[in-house]
Structures are given as structure tokens and as C-alpha cells.
Amino acid sequence: MSPRSSAFVLLVVCTIVLAGCSTSQPGTTTETTGTTLSGGTGKTTGVSWSVTITRIVDGDTVEFEYKNGTQDTARLLGVDTPEVHTANDPKEFEGVPNDDSGASCLRDWGHKASEFGRTELAGERVTIFTDPNEGPRDRYDRLLVYIRDDGKLFNYRLIAQGYARVYDSEFTKRDRFYSAESKAQREKIGLWECRDGQGETRTTNGAVGTTGLTIARVHADADGNDHDNLNDEYFVLQNSGNDAVDIAGWTISDDSGHTYRVPSGVSMKPGTTLTLYSGAGSNSATELYWGSDSAVWNNGGDTIIVRNAGGDVVLRKQYSG
């Protein structure tokens, strides 16, 4: 073989070896490098991936899997939920008392934020994407991302529904997030109830907006063992307004973050009632069944929180034992 031929063979072999090596490095495949997003003017707005959420670490941190099976951890941009693994500092949450009661209230909402994440995201295929002003990773090597699930921005929902405060940085959506935080603070939604001694001054029954919906009755203490008599645990929702209310896709949750989503096709005409039972059964125009395998509502007192399909609180009722 001639020197020129030998050199050509060596070049081909090296090229194949190097190509094989490069594709085996973490983060170099199409699956993990993502797709570049562009704005209307051609400006880069971030990089996106389609991933599966595999674990909720806490309210603002998740673990996920790319399509090729690679695992990674993400920290949600622009939000800070109360801690569940370490101590909370109430001073970080504007207006929350800087004492044990404030810290305890925040810890409760940290658990609720985690439960909300598990209910909404665990096992789901979602889109995550970065912000051109941030990242791509924090000092703990977590990918800094937004999560979009069913067309909704999960980071924003955490703020609007009171599960988190805005974590200030230069992220591009900060104005929108601060506006939602201000609204949540004014209406004492979610963790912002901690400003008033864990919500003791909240109204016990009332609608936010003009839906006309009220809680007509709460029956939290079932006969016998609550867990063995789930359909004797229920509450009654009533439309006291003048218009029909389409509640398909709305959610109903308690203080612990247990969440039920109203199925499609459910609407309440004026003057009608709808009973939600904790157990299993066949849904109808007047009865819905949560399908829970354990009791939901605390006999000693709890809060029923009704949110519309956009995640806004439309009704909150706090009851005592």
C-alpha cells in the first residue's frame, strides 16, 4: 500500500472513531441538546425539550427524563416555593411573621406545593425551555427552565395560585410574574394566608369574582371509619347566580394539596346543586365522585378551594370541626 493510501485509510479510521466518541458524550445528542426557539423578530428566546417528569423533589425542583433515557434535574425559573427539606426564613416572604408561626405556616405550604407538583406533573410528558437571560444551569448544576404542560406555564401557576413567591432575577417573564404575585398577596391566596396567622382572618365562604357559586353544605365526618365509608364524606356546591357556569376542567383541593379535576361536560344551571363524594361511583349531572382510596376532608377542619380551568381561585370555604 502506498504512503498516500495509508494516510487516507488512517484519516478515515480516525474520523469514524472520533465521531463515535462524540456521540457518546452526555448532552450531545439531538434528544438532550434541544430545539432553539425564536421570537417574531428572529431573536433567540430559549431552547426547548420534550421530557417526562419522573420525580418531584419539591415545589420548584423536578427530575426528568429525555426521550433517549438520559436523566437530569431542573430548577424552575422565576419561582421559590417554601422549603420542605430545610428551614424556612419568613423574611424571604413579604409580610409573613418572622417567628415560629410564620415558619410553620410556610412549611405547610411547602408540602402543598410539592403535592401540587406531583398531582399536575408526575409522569407527564411536558415541554421545558430555557430563558435567554438566564442559565443554562445554576451552581448546583440544575437546568434552569420553564415548564409548559397542556399549554399552560406551570411556573406562572405556582405564583398565581399562591404556592410560590417570585424569585427575583433577570428572567424575561418577571413583570408578568410580579403582577400575579401582587394579586395573590392582595387576595391572600395560598402561602400569603401566612401573613394573617395561617389564614384565621379569611372569610369562611365567598366567591372571588362573579360566578355565583357557593358551598351549600360540608359533610366531612362520615359515619364510622371515614376511610371505609368514603361516599358519606362529601360537600355540596350550589349555583346561586343567574347564569349557568361551565366548571369542566376546574379543580377542587384541600389544605393538604389533594386535588380533584372536574371532568369535561360538567355545567351547573342557575339554582342547581352538585355533590362531590370522596369515593367511587358513576358521575351524573348532580353527583361527582372523586375516586379517592382514602378520606380527603379533615373532620377537625379544612379548606375547600375551587379554581377555574385557568387556575384562578373562584371560591374558598374554610370549615371547622
**Where in the sequence numbering do the catalytic residues fall?**
75, 83, 142
What is the DSSP track for 257-312?
Answer: --EEEPPTT-EE-TT-EEEEESS-----SSEEE---SS--S-TTEEEEEEE-TTS-
Per the CB < 8 A criterion, the answer to whether 235 and 215 are in contact is yes
- Report how far residue 196's alpha carbon sits from residue 165's, in angstroms, rounded to the nearest whole number: 17
- Report how far residue 308's alpha carbon sits from residue 261's, in angstroms, rounded to the nearest whole number: 10
Per the CB < 8 A criterion, the answer to whether 77 and 145 are in contact is yes
CA distances for 10 relative to 3, 13, 23, angstroms: 11, 5, 20
Phi, psi of 218 (to 5 degrees): -125, 125
Cis peptide before 26 (omega within 30 of 0): no
Per the CB < 8 A criterion, the answer to whether 124 and 56 are in contact is no
CA distances for 83 relative to 59, 73, 240, angstroms: 8, 17, 39
> If we measure between CA atoms, which residue out of 266, 269, 242 comes closest to residue 252?
266
- H or E element at residue 114: helix 100-121
